[in-house]
Amino acid sequence: MTTDLPTTEDEWRIRLTPAEFRVLREAGTEAPWTGEYVDTKTEGVYDCRACGAQLYPSDTKFDSHCGWPSFDDAIPGAVKEIEDRTHGMVRVEIRCARCDSHLGHVFRGEGFTAKNTRHCVNSLSIRLDPAV
């Protein structure tokens, strides 16, 4: 995990690619079905692409057929939830608890899993650390 975090958005711009910056720091969204982890089944842990904090164990990933990687739970304390009223909707944004980078949104009550929760995450927000 990266120990020194940028303190300004200009420092984040240096650390991240333009696409990563748009998603992670400007709360953008990658196009559906384009992310590298949509169909990944590899075991491991998904880390925050910005700071390296562990976010999601691979055993919480499931196929929601929504076009983005979906998880039914995060590592306790790894993400924070923020009300998002953009785009004429009321949603719950999820961000990395360590570096405050945008990950995606969480939806509840859809019935996809026993936990009844879907963390809809941009592939550009995460990086898989495969199990050895």
- Is residue 120 flagged as an active site residue? yes
Determine how many CB atoms are found less than 10 A away from the CB of residue 1.
9
Distance between CA atoms of residues 65 and 14, nearest Å: 34
Q: How far are the Cα atoms of 7, 77, 95, 106 from residue 80, in angstroms, in the given order?
A: 19, 7, 5, 10
The active-site residue, picked from 48, 96, 99, 120, is: 120
Rounded to whole angstroms, the maximal C-alpha distance in the chain is: 44
112, two tokens: 């996809």
Catalytic residues: 120
